Amino acid sequence: MSQAKPYRVSHLDALEAESIFVMREVMAEFERPVLLFSGGKDSIVMLRLAEKAFAPARIPFPVMHVDTGHNFPEVLEYRDTRVATLGLNLVVASVQEAIDSGHVRELPDGTRNRIQTPVLLAAVEKYRFDALFGGARRDEEKARAKERMFSFRDEFGQWDPKNQRPELWSLYNGRHHPGESIRVFPLSNWTELDVWHYIAKEQIPLPSIYYAHDREVVERGGMFYAVNEFIRLKDGETSEVRRVRYRTVGDASQTAAVLSEADTVDKVIDEVAATRITERGATRGDDKVSEAAMEDRKREGYF
Amino acid sequence: MSQAVLENETAPAARMDLLRFATAGSVDDGKSTLIGRLLYDTKTIFADQLEAVEAASASRGDEYTNLALLTDGLRAEREQGITIDVAYRYFATPRRKFIIADTPGHIQYTRNMVTGASTADLALILVDARKGLVEQSRRHAFLTSLLRVPHLVLCINKMDLVDWDKAVYDRIADEFTSFAAKLEIGDLTIIPVSALNGDNIASRSENSPWYDGPSLLHHLEHVHIASDRNLVDVRFPVQYVIRPQSTTVTDYRGYAGQVASGVLKPGDEVLVLPSGLTSTIASIDTADGPVGEAFPPMSVTVRLNDEIDISRGDLICRPHNAPAVAQDIEAMVCWMDETAPLRVGGKYAIKHTTRTARTVVRGLQYRLDVNTLHRDEQAGELQLNEIGRVRLRTTVPLLADEYRRNRTTGGFILIDESTNRTVGAGMIIEAQ
Ligand SMILES: Nc1nc2c(ncn2[C@@H]2O[C@H](COP(=O)(O)OP(=O)(O)OP(=O)(O)O)[C@@H](O)[C@H]2O)c(=O)[nH]1
Ligand SMILES: [Mg+2]
């Protein structure tokens, strides 16, 4: 078939089209979808895709923040502004409240990544959400690389990686019994670099901590943690002011910054393209626990 | 290492095209190792990933860094040294972005191989040079042709273990070519490789002076995929109706969906199925504004000039080029359920484009032996991983094309209504 016109789309447009398709499938087939919004760059991109999928109508589902209580103030502020601008309904599932009410117990080391899961699952049960959009990407981690676009969870929110539904073409099977749910990952096929190219193309504003800024940090195991109410200096440690940016935004007590001079989106793209360390490897204390830390957390119902 | 690979260290442009490919072949033929090698040689592996894989290899007592561990990410996979489910990996060169589906070779997990291959533009079938073609190589080659993956590459792997003997390569290449002649395979390329040592992966190897074809990476970067899409038959399955409940946007009614095939333009006369009503396209909208044309794989919102009742599951096409509106479907079905076989009389949910219906199996014409391609017409059922030709009757009409003409309007899945599991994949041969 020889065409006068090439009818080509760029890989970024193809990824966008796929994500929009997935979001519309969910809206058409589920009763109570919700979009998990952390204020991180992936969930911000996912929110933009939701805007585009249903325009000129509003985003037809609420967003939920599983709030560990360990937040970067810039990110909370961004979340609230964004939600207000888009006229969205925000559900906050608070880990702190769950601790205070005795629903979950604070871990001895004070980290809250793992105890997010029961809080998330309780909120899913309370609001009877049947589809949860997550911003996870397969390029992030080896267990995530195994995840389907539509990922089935049983009534305990558990993932069974050895027994996933076949997923052919773009025919997603979202059927489930009451109490079960589907996690949906519209960004499955995006890489960190794709996300940044898209942020540049769409001119999406981000919380300021994603760009290089001066910050008081302490170096631990080659990672640079902000010194603040969640991370205090231990004996023998000294802090210093360095120029840093965040590559991911997770729990503020466990997310590290990277040294960077990139104060614009184009400079970040250059840095991301040249980096030799993965996003999670450079920034997440929580993944270093064991070889299969992510798989284990996902089995329990983590994002 | 070729120039293309070195350039990869600079930022790839935001505008590249996309090639999806899947691995296939029998267990231990080296699929995961080959993907690991490709990622390694294109410098797609990060330092911390490599460290983790080196540490895992060392603790298992491997003599060399086992690059298969880059994709075998599940605990059970690492324990058993096999791939169980598809791993998706990504890399880019200045020419293309690649989405890789590394699939399992073990027969028990065939449905996961099918999952990975269903969306692929190209399949890489690996064969162990010492063993030659085995049943799984044939099964996967057959599945690839059944799924109509447009491009096929046969990698004759582990050439290092047969001293790069050209005679071994020729024998397997001949055997495969004659098997492939019985299948419908559009484009076949055969490459001798050592996934372990990286020969003919990212660059041509000195070990095979008798081979004058491209390296695998060169082939992946240059294979022509633009004309694989069907730009002739307009097929727009309606996914969702956008009707803003808003005071600022009033009277908006748009039909959202992804173009399955063909090119749509404002002003085009269209036929809506199953109603049979006609109208013209008023505009093709996106969040970035209206566009002058829409083609695959664009996700757009179509507005029509007439108020007609259209809902999810309907399809927009052209008046003189329409799919069948059919309740009687003949299809090849690949059965994927281990708990119960497909039997005549069985009832299932069927999902086809954006339409879901119920269906009953009216007949099983034959079951296919993937090794010999012999048709067993006496077969009474299809067990896990078996393939056969079935006749289905659906509760409502499907808006269907032959799968060979259209992978989107020709494919469907069967769902068990009690377990909700996806139990079958179907490729339509005839719809009426
Ligand atoms: N000598 C040699 N060994 C190889 C080569 N490629 C792979 N191997 C070895 O073959 C074994 C199996 O490799 P894998 O990559 O795990 O095989 P696979 O095809 O992914 O297997 P499944 O995914 O379980 O079907 C490993 O021990 C590899 O190191 C090669 O080119 N030469
Ligand atoms: Mg493998």
- If you write DSSP's letter for every residue of A113-175 in order, what string do you get? TTTHHHHHHHHHHHHT--EEE----GGG-TTGGG--SEEEE-TT----GGGPPP--TT-----
Q: Which residues line ligand 1 (CB under 6 A)?
A: B 27-33, 66, 68, 82-83, 104-106, 157-158, 160-161, 194-196
In this structure, are residues B110 and B27 in contact, taking their beta carbons and an 8 Å threshold? no
Do residue A216 and residue A75 come from a single domain? no
Nearest-ligand number for the alpha carbon of B71? 2
Do residue A118 and residue A35 come from a single domain? yes
pTM of this structure: 0.94
Whole-angstrom distance, CA of residue B387 vs CA of residue B384: 9
How far, in Å, are A7, A9, A44, A193 from residue B296 at the CA level? 8, 9, 26, 24
Do residue B64 and residue B79 come from a single domain? yes
Domain of A178: which CATH number? 3.40.50.620
Look at chain B and report how many structural domains it folds into.
3
For residue B44, which of B85, B96, B83, B111 has the smallest C-alpha distance? Answer: B96
User: Which residue range(s) make up the domain with B95?
Assistant: 11-228
Instruction: Flag whether B271 is in a domain.
Output: yes
Query: What number of other Cβ atoms are within 10 A of residue A297's Cβ?
Result: 20
Task: Write out residues 117-146 of A within 8 Å (CB-CB) of B.
Answer: 138-139, 141-143, 145-146
For residue A88, give both structure tokens. 């969205």
Do residue B215 and residue B263 come from a single domain? no
Do residue A145 and residue A67 come from a single domain? yes
Do residue B158 and residue B284 come from a single domain? no
Do residue A155 and residue A213 come from a single domain? no
Instruction: Flag whether B1 is in a domain.
Output: no
Do residue B242 and residue B224 come from a single domain? no
H or E segment and range at residue B43: none
Alpha-carbon distance B382 to nearest alpha carbon in chain A (angstroms) = 17
Whole-angstrom distance, CA of residue B302 vs CA of residue B257: 8
Do residue A173 and residue A226 come from a single domain? no
Complete DSSP assignment for B177-231: HHHHTTS--SEEEEEE-BTTTTBTTSS--TT-TT--S--HHHHHHH---GGGS--
Do residue B42 and residue B177 come from a single domain? yes
Do residue B217 and residue B244 come from a single domain? no
Do residue A148 and residue A227 come from a single domain? no
Instruction: Flag whether B296 is in a domain.
Output: yes
Look at chain A and report how many structural domains it folds into.
2
Maximum Cα interatomic distance, chain B, rounded to a whole number of Å: 75
Using the 3D structure, point to which of B277, B293, B317 is the last residue of a domain: B317
- Listed in sequence order, the residues at least 6 apart from A197 whose beta carbon sits closer than 8 Å to its beta carbon are A12, A269, B14
Domain of B208: which CATH number? 3.40.50.300
Do residue B194 and residue B105 come from a single domain? yes
Q: Which residue of A has its CA nearest to B426?
A: A168
Do residue B208 and residue B240 come from a single domain? no
Do residue B42 and residue B109 come from a single domain? yes
Chain-centre distance for alpha carbon B176: 21
Residues of B within 8 A of A143 (CB-CB) are: 73-74
Strand B269-273 to strand B277-286: parallel, antiparallel, or no bridges (unpaired)?
A: antiparallel
Instruction: Flag whether A198 is in a domain.
Output: no
pLDDT tens-digit profile, chain A (303 residues): 444 467 889 999 999 999 999 999 999 999 999 999 999 999 999 999 999 999 999 999 999 999 988 888 999 999 999 999 999 999 999 888 888 888 888 888 777 778 888 899 999 999 999 999 999 999 998 999 999 999 999 988 899 988 899 999 999 999 999 999 999 999 999 999 999 999 999 999 999 999 999 999 999 888 888 888 777 788 888 889 999 999 888 777 878 899 999 999 999 999 998 888 888 777 776 555 566 788 888 888 777
User: Which residue range(s) make up the domain with A257?
Assistant: 207-288
For residue B127, which of B149, B151, B155 has the smallest C-alpha distance? Answer: B155
Task: Classify residue B407 by burial, with Cβ atoms within 10 Å: 0-12, 13-18, 19+.
Answer: buried
Whole-angstrom distance, CA of residue A148 vs CA of residue A164: 8
Tell me the ipTM for this assembly.
0.94
In this structure, are residues B336 and B423 in contact, taking their beta carbons and an 8 Å threshold? yes
Do residue A213 and residue A239 come from a single domain? yes
Instruction: Flag whether B169 is in a domain.
Output: yes
Q: What is the mean pLDDT of chain B?
A: 93
Do residue A9 and residue A134 come from a single domain? yes
3-class secondary-structure state, position B123: strand
Instruction: Flag whether A201 is in a domain.
Output: no
Do residue A151 and residue A281 come from a single domain? no
| Per-residue pLDDT, A286 | 59
Instruction: Flag whether A199 is in a domain.
Output: no
Instruction: Flag whether B336 is in a domain.
Output: yes
For residue B37, give both structure tokens. 């090698």
Instruction: Flag whether A202 is in a domain.
Output: no
Taking only the tens place, the pLDDT of each residue in B380-393 is 999 999 999 999 99
Task: Write out residues 184-213 of A within 8 Å (CB-CB) of B.
Answer: 188-189, 191, 193-194, 197, 200-201
Do residue B364 and residue B406 come from a single domain? yes
